[in-house]
Structure 1
């Protein structure tokens, strides 16, 4: 499989890791959209959120637990952060390996007008 994130998990492409456990890897984005921009990915290859099955419930829970842990460790849990998952082309997904963007370090406005 020619998946960039799978290669990062394998260690064939370097990354700046900030968190890792049995199910999840988190690393700094090389083109950050905020002062802190961390990608959180499952170690299991899942292309999109649409491909998540009931068997993946633990992996998805681990992603969210990792996000909370990282936000606390980075000092953003109290002030706030954004957690984003883009799904398919119209949703802005570029790499087809499930991933969440943790963005923090600046005031972020609402995504949609209220």
Structure 2
């Protein structure tokens, strides 16, 4: 999708601090971090929201979780703890309409999140 910033990052049209990349997934530092560790894990295939994920695309969620685990280890928050977040639509806090997950860590997370 031409106007999607995450598609542009995945296609290396916009610079980002990439921490992980394979054929299907890219993970990069959030430009407005909400924690000392704040990495976005994004499928390269454009999917607007979690609701738009088709039944036969469940492997994408598995890949997001797997890369989130890898990022947590790379960022040394795997044993201390981290938060894995998927936001969906406006009231869920989604601001970029390309399916993505947040890996947040490096500080104590509060509950409820807000």
Common fold: TM-score over 0.5: yes
Q: CA RMSD in A?
A: 1.3
CA distance in 2, matches of 1:88, 1:19: 26
Name 2:10's counterpart in structure 1: 9
Of 54-63 and 90-99, deviating more is 54-63
Q: How does 1:26-105 map to 2 (within 5 A)?
A: 26-105=27-106
What secondary structure is seen at the aligned counterpart in 1 of 2:13? Answer: coil
Q: Give 1:62 deviation, angstroms.
A: 0.6
What secondary structure is seen at the aligned counterpart in 2 of 1:78? Answer: coil
Q: Give 1:10 deviation, angstroms.
A: 0.9
Q: Give 1:112 deviation, angstroms.
A: 5.8
CA deviation string 1:51-104 (max 9, x = no partner): 111221111111100001111111111110001111001111110000111100
CA distance in 2, matches of 1:61, 1:17: 20
What secondary structure is seen at the aligned counterpart in 2 of 1:72? Answer: helix
Displacement over 4 Å in runs of 4+: none
CA distance in 2, matches of 1:31, 1:10: 21
**Unpaired segments ≥5 residues, structure 1:** none
Query: When the two structures are superposed, what TM-score results if normalisation uses the length of structure 2?
Result: 0.94
Of 96-105 and 55-64, deviating more is 55-64
CA distance in 1, matches of 2:101, 2:58: 15
Paired residues in the alignment total 113
